[in-house]
Amino acid sequence: MTTSKGTIQGYNGIAINDDKHQIILQAQTWGSVGEQQTLEPAVTQLKQQLDKLTTEKL
């Protein structure tokens, strides 16, 4: 956002948590995209991490 004092860099953050165990499973920040564009990549990355954990346990 540009103001009379210069440009202010904003960040969007997203956290995916487990309500039952109250832990954060995935957290990311983005420097220049809206919230609508952050959910899908975060969910995709979380799925990949969970799949990797499942595979490693076998």
pLDDT > 70? residue 58: no
Look at 9 and 1; give whichever has higher pLDDT: 9
Tell the residue number behind the tokens 């210069």, with chain if given.
6
HSE-up of 32 (CA within 13 Å, CB side)? Answer: 4
8 Å CB contact between 45 and 26: yes
pLDDT tens-digit readout, 2-48:
678 777 677 778 889 999 999 999 988 887 666 677 888 889 999 99
What pLDDT is attached to residue 21?
A: 92
DSSP 8-state code for residue 31: S
Which range of residues forms the domain containing residue 20? 2-57
What is the amino acid identity at position 13? G
The domain total for the chain is 1
Q: Cα separation of 54 and 22, whole Å? A: 21
Model pTM score = 0.62
Whole-number pLDDT of residue 55: 85
Distances (CA, A) of 38 to 27, 30, 32, 49: 11, 8, 10, 17
